[in-house]
Structure formats: C-alpha cells, structure tokens
Amino acid sequence: MEELQHIHPEPTSFIRKWVFSTDHKVIARQFLWAGLLFLAFGGGLAMLIRWQWAYPGEPVPAVGSLLFSGSGGSITPANYNSIFTMHGLIMIFFAITPIMIGAFGNFCIPLMIGARDMAFPKLNMLSFWTFLLSQCLVLASFFVQLGSGAAGWTTYPPLSTNVGTPGLGQTLVVAAIFVTGVATIMGGLNYVTTVVRLRAPGMTYARMPATVWGLWLTAILNVLFVPVLGSAALLLLLDRQFGTQFYVAGSSAVRGGGDPILFQHLFWIFGHPEVYILILPPWGFVTDLVSFFARKPAYWFKGSIFAMSAVTILSAVVYGHHMFVTGMNPMLGQSFMTLTLIISVPAELLFLNWLHTIWKGSIRLTVPMLFALGTIFVFGLGGLTGLFLGTISTDLYLHDTMFVVGHFHLTMAAAAFLGSFAAIYFWFPKMFGRNMNQTLGKWHFWFSAVFITLVFCGQLAAGYAGHQRRLFDPYQYTFLQHLHPLNRWTSYFAFLLGIGQLPFVYNFFRSVFMGTKAEMNPWEIGTLEWTLPSPPVHHNFDTIPTVHRGPHEFANPEVKKALGRDWIGQAEELPKTEKAPAKPAAAAGAS
C-alpha cells in the first residue's frame, strides 16, 4: 500500500493550499461551505412557499418588496412555480448532495480506509470546480427575464420544453443539472476506485465502517444512474434549443411528436436510485453512530451491509411507482408495485439492527447520537408512509398530494438533513481541529427534530385529506378550504424550524474560527481517522496502518481487561488474543 501512495510535499502557496487544492480534506470543506450556503438558499425558498400557503397573496414581510417589487411584495403564480421548482432542485442537487457526498464522502473515505488521499486527486479538484460552475448556472437562472426554472423539480415535459416554459431560465437550470451530474460522476468514479484500491492492509470490506459502505454504494449508484439523468436532460436541452421532438407532444408535435413518458422513464430510472443515493450515506452514518454511542458492536453488521447492498441493487427496478397514473399497463404496474414492496424489507432489516444495537447498550446522548436517533425516528415515519404510495390502489388517491410531499420530505429531506448534521457535529473536531459547542448543538437538535416532525406530519395530514401539491392557492378548491388552518400552523412550525437553525449557524461559524482546540479522539472511537491529529496532516498517515478488526469493537471484555477501556482501535495491537468469543446465545437473542 505504501508504494501506491507516495507522500507528496505539501503545497505552500495560498492558492494551492486553499483554492485549487487536491487534498481531499480541503475539497471536503469546500463542498461543505458551498453546500451549506445553498442549503440556506433552499431553506429560504421553502419559507416563501410556506408563507404563500399561510397567507395567500399577502406581501412577504421583510424581503417581499425587494424580491417581488413588481407585485407589491407578494408572490405571483409564476414566481411561486419557480420557487417550489428551485427549492426542490437546490435542496437535492446543490445542498444535500455536496454536503453529504461531496463533503463527507471526500473527508471520510480516505481517512476511514487508511489511505492518504483519493485515487485521483486532480479529478477530485476538478469535480469541485465543475460543481461550483453548476451552482453558478443555477444562480444565473434567477436573473434572466422570464425567471428561473418553473416546471417542478421533476421537470416533466411538455411543460419543461420551450412550448411549456419558454425562456433562458429553464434552459440554464437544465444545463446546471447536466453540469452537476458531470461533477457527481467524477466524484463517484473517484470514490468507487478509492474504496476498491486504496484500503489499508487488513481493511477487508467487512471491516469498513458503515459510513464508507454507505458512501461507496452511493457512489456506485451515482456512477451508473446520473448518466441516465444526463441523457434525459440532454434530450430536453435538444428539444428546447434544437427543435428535436423527443418529448414534445400534443398540438406542437411534428410527425406524431415525441413521448412525454419517455422523459418520465429516463428521469425516474435515475430518480429512484437518486433517493437511495441521498439516503445511503445517512444510513451508513446512523449504523456507525448508534454503535459508537451505545458503546456496543453494530448488531449483525453483515446483515446491515447486506441490506444496504440489496437496496442498492433493487433501486433501479422500482422506479415505475412514480408513474402509476400515467396510464401504464396494469401488469407493468403490478411488477413495479411488487418490487417496491420487496425493497421495503432490507430497510426494515436495517431498522431492526439499529434498534438491537442500542438495546442493552450504554447510551451516551451526545449531539451526534441525538441526531442519529432523530434520523431513525423521521426515516421510520417517512419510510412507513412509503408503503401507501408504493401500492397502486392507495396511490390512485394519494398520488401528487401532499402525502407524497410529506413522505419524501421525511425520508429524503429530514433523514438526510438530520443525518448530515449528525455527521457535521461528529466529524467537526477532526475536520476543523476545533470543538463545536455541545449545548447549542442539543438545542439545535431538539428544535430541528420537533419542528421537522410537526411540519412534515402537517403535510402528511393535508395529503391524507386530498390536498394536491404545487398549488399557488389551494383554497380555490372547496374541498381544501377547511385545511387553511392546518397549512397555516404547518407554516408556523416551518418558520420556527428555520429560526431553529440559527443556533447552528452561530455555533458553526464561531467554532470554525474560535472553537476550543479538539483532541485527537474526543468521542473515543476506534475508526482510523481518530488515530490522527485534529485536523490531520496533508498526507494523513505517516505510515499506512494495518487493520486487525472491525470498526465497532466495543464492550469487549478482553479489551477491558487488557486496556482498561470499552473500545479498541481498528489498527490497534491487543496484547493478548484479539477476538473474545461472543457471549452465549442467551444474551444474543435479547430483544
């Protein structure tokens, strides 16, 4: 391994150190800043949506006169369509992806597998700058005449063609999606290769932390399915700019026209793996964190790895459940429903393993642990609501209602969001060499978890009552008028959720610049990154370690006897035999 990873001299100039750096740790921080910035942006857009539903047509306080000067400070229907479109796109592609996959993928993978950097450091740098370009394209789209994209994040044609949504804004947005896809594929390629090729001696796949598993499986999905989004976007761009007829149908069709459903197939063949792309890293984080902070081995770790891999493999074949009401062949619908129900099984297994891990543990409710438990809570809720949507008959009623919105916000937004914060609070000491304030962290957690639950349960309730999504003014419909108070309260909780992020913003900035110096291993964890200084030096490991055991070796009596503590490092030498026999079956079946 040493011969594969030469120790290069550290860069000295400011530009090479902090701007055009090939150091995965620097690139990770770059992705983190870029992602957090757009997270705030996307969150702001969400606040606008909630304002409109609480007080339809009323001028938005504070920012209204600035943003919507043409309409006296209120949001117009056209604005509203852009707002919910860009909220979705920004959150998925330009906030959560860079934070979880760009930042933590980059930071954690080499460190946790015992490598000095990624397999292709220059490609890594290129992926960040490509990503930044895509963010610029998104920003640019807001300043063009007809506004930004407005066809929903799902960008269905014909609405998203130049017939449905003319103007440069939508084109820029589709181009931004294409460019960010390129950046993602570059990153994914790097992650997959790095995990396969640069694991330290003794670091078998079974000994890799779940975090690496989650990020690696995500990278595999990215590499295979983002290109499909790329084609969908490419064909849409061709239709918009070059007059091709892939998706244009109806009265604008030439010679029979294209097929809007083609886009839906291509989009969801990407789109369903995408939601697993967004959840596999948090699943990885949670699997590790609940073990770390229950001070107990991860229960049936191989089962969890198997579950994550099974979900990865099945992810592409369930996509049709997004298209049940497009008029599909019932037999096809049946197959998609069956597969969708089946894919819930590995997820169930993962939950059981998490619950068993914390049971009879010695739980420390640290901030990362709180966020990990919160992730389990919201994903449990969200995941269960998925059953209603994966089943055809119930989906006939619930499709395109707020129930869907509540479902995916709980599973995708809430779980990824809470999971990302778990990761941020957990690795902050190692990333920045300083500690975050834990009290503020706990406030941040409770505020976030409580209001997230309230907001998205409010959406579930609205959807249950039949409330459609993407409505500028829902109260045009008689059957929705009575839901105005529900929507208003959901909005209040959303505003409080937004305000609840302020302790984090303050904490994060303050800690980066003025936090107390972090120790090497503040959480007392055995994975390899905690054997390095906080933050690690440029080349990470002076000598590549040799790994002897898995990442969740806690509460081992042999270790307690030999070392006087409840944990042992993955590469640590144990004076006596390494593995204690597992306790007899009586303890193992406790539940």
Partner 1 sequence: MQRKARLVKAAATAAGLLSTTHVGAAPSPEPGFGLPRDVSEYGHHIDWLIEVTAVFTALLFVIMVIWMLWACLKHNEKHEADYDHGESKHSVKTALLLSAVIFFVVDGNLFYNSTTDVFRVFWNHDSVENNPQAVKIEINAHQWAWDARYAGPDGKFNTKDDIITLNDVRVPVGAPVLLQLVSPDVIHSFYLPNLRVKQDAMPGMINRLWFQAKQTGEYDIGCAQHCGVNHYKMKGTLTVLSPDEFKSWAADQSAIGARGYDPKDNEAHWGWEWRARN
Partner 2 sequence: MGEILPYRPPRAREEWTAYLGMVIFLASWAMMFGSLFFAYGMVRARSNEWPPADLPSLPLVVPAINSVVLVLSSAVLQLVLVALRRGKAQFAGPGLGLTAVLGMVFLGLQITTWRSLFDDGLTPQGGPYASVFYTLTCFHALHVLVGILALGWLCRGALAGRYSAARFLPVRLWTLYWHFVGVVWLAMFVTVYVV
Is residue 258 a contact point for partner 2 (CB under 8 A)? yes
The one among 76, 154, 231, 335 contacting partner 2 by CB under 8 A: 231
Which region among 100-108, 262-270, 482-490, 492-500 touches partner 2 (by CB under 8 A)? 262-270
Which residues 6+ apart lie within 8 Å of 87 measured at CB?
A: 42, 45, 46, 49, 153
As a whole number of angstroms, the distance between CA 434 and CA 518 comes to 4
Is residue 209 a contact point for partner 1 (CB under 8 A)? no
**How far are the Cα atoms of 321, 325, 326, 391, 466 from residue 395, in angstroms, in the given order?**
9, 8, 12, 6, 11
Residue type, 155: T
Is residue 259 a contact point for partner 2 (CB under 8 A)? yes
As a whole number of angstroms, the distance between CA 496 and CA 490 comes to 10
Among residues 122 and 360, whose Cβ is nearest to partner 1? 360
Residue type, 77: P
Among residues 231 and 309, whose Cβ is nearest to partner 2? 231
Among residues 98 and 157, whose Cβ is nearest to partner 1? 157
Q: Binding to partner 2 (CB under 8 A): which residues in 113-132?
A: 119-120
State the residue for tokens 């690696």. Answer: 216
Is residue 189 a contact point for partner 2 (CB under 8 A)? yes
Is residue 590 a contact point for partner 1 (CB under 8 A)? yes
Q: Binding to partner 2 (CB under 8 A): which residues in 193-222?
A: 193, 196-198
Among residues 228 and 337, whose Cβ is nearest to partner 2? 228
Long-range contacts of 470-478 (CB under 8 A, 24+ apart): 470/81, 470/84, 470/152, 472/52, 472/56, 472/75, 472/77, 472/80, 472/81, 473/52, 473/56, 473/57, 473/77, 474/53, 474/56, 475/56
Which residues 6+ apart lie within 8 Å of 136 measured at CB?
A: none
Over the Cα atoms of the chain, what is R_g?
24
SS3 assignment, position 468: strand
Is residue 577 a contact point for partner 1 (CB under 8 A)? no
3's contact among partner 2, partner 1, none, with CB below 5 to 8 A by partner kind, is: partner 2
As a whole number of angstroms, the distance between CA 470 and CA 405 comes to 10
As a whole number of angstroms, the distance between CA 198 and CA 191 comes to 10
The one among 38, 80, 84, 225 contacting partner 2 by CB under 8 A: 225
State the burial class of residue 534 (Cβ atoms within 10 Å of its Cβ: 0-12, 13-18, 19+): buried
**Using CB under 8 A as the criterion, what x/- string covers residues 466-495 for binding partner 1?**
x-xxxxxxx-xxxxxxx---x---------
Q: Binding to partner 1 (CB under 8 A): which residues in 44-103?
A: 77-78, 81
Is residue 545 a contact point for partner 1 (CB under 8 A)? no
473's contact among partner 2, partner 1, none, with CB below 5 to 8 A by partner kind, is: partner 1
373's contact among partner 1, partner 2, none, with CB below 5 to 8 A by partner kind, is: partner 1
| Burial per residue of 271-285, b for 16 or more beta-carbon CB atoms within 10 angstroms, e otherwise | bbbbbbbbbbbbbbb
Which region among 229-237, 391-399, 444-452, 479-487 touches partner 2 (by CB under 8 A)? 229-237
| Alpha carbon 210 to chain centroid, angstroms | 15
Among residues 103 and 232, whose Cβ is nearest to partner 2? 232
Among residues 163 and 461, whose Cβ is nearest to partner 2? 163
**Using CB under 8 A as the criterion, what x/- string covers residues 382-411 for binding partner 1?**
--xx-xx--xxxx-xxxxxx----------
CB of 116 to partner 1, least distance (A): 31
232's contact among partner 1, partner 2, none, with CB below 5 to 8 A by partner kind, is: partner 2
589's contact among partner 1, partner 2, none, with CB below 5 to 8 A by partner kind, is: partner 1
The one among 59, 257, 433, 466 contacting partner 2 by CB under 8 A: 257
SS3 assignment, position 401: strand
Is residue 364 a contact point for partner 2 (CB under 8 A)? no
312's contact among partner 2, partner 1, none, with CB below 5 to 8 A by partner kind, is: none
Q: How many residues in the chain?
A: 591
Retrieve residue 446's tokens: 């409770």
CA angle 194, 177, 309 (to 5 degrees): 40
Is residue 566 a contact point for partner 2 (CB under 8 A)? no
Is residue 204 a contact point for partner 1 (CB under 8 A)? no
Is residue 565 a contact point for partner 1 (CB under 8 A)? no
Among residues 16 and 265, whose Cβ is nearest to partner 2? 265
DSSP structural state of residue 361: S
Q: Binding to partner 1 (CB under 8 A): which residues in 13-32?
A: none
Retrieve residue 201's tokens: 């001696």
Hey, how many other C-beta atoms are within 10 angstroms of the C-beta on 236?
A: 29
**Using CB under 8 A as the criterion, what x/- string covers residues 144-163 for binding partner 1?**
-------xx---xxxx---x
Is residue 513 a contact point for partner 2 (CB under 8 A)? no
* CB 108 within 8 Å of CB 525: no
State the burial class of residue 185 (Cβ atoms within 10 Å of its Cβ: 0-12, 13-18, 19+): buried
DSSP structural state of residue 434: B
CB of 575 to partner 2, least distance (A): 33
Residue type, 447: F
Is residue 7 a contact point for partner 2 (CB under 8 A)? no
CB of 315 to partner 1, least distance (A): 18
353's contact among partner 1, partner 2, none, with CB below 5 to 8 A by partner kind, is: partner 1
Which region among 222-230, 312-320, 371-379, 429-437 touches partner 1 (by CB under 8 A)? 371-379
As a whole number of angstroms, the distance between CA 132 and CA 86 comes to 17
Is residue 524 a contact point for partner 1 (CB under 8 A)? no
As a whole number of angstroms, the distance between CA 333 and CA 339 comes to 10
φ/ψ region of 540 (left if φ > 0, alpha if ψ in -120 to 50, else beta) reads left
CA angle 334, 335, 341 (to 5 degrees): 90
The one among 13, 543, 577, 591 contacting partner 1 by CB under 8 A: 591
359's contact among partner 1, partner 2, none, with CB below 5 to 8 A by partner kind, is: partner 1
Largest CA distance in the chain: 80
Positions that interact with partner 2 (CB under 8 A): 3-4, 119-120, 185, 188-190, 192-193, 196-198, 223-228, 230-232, 234-235, 238-239, 242-246, 253-259, 261-262, 265-266, 269
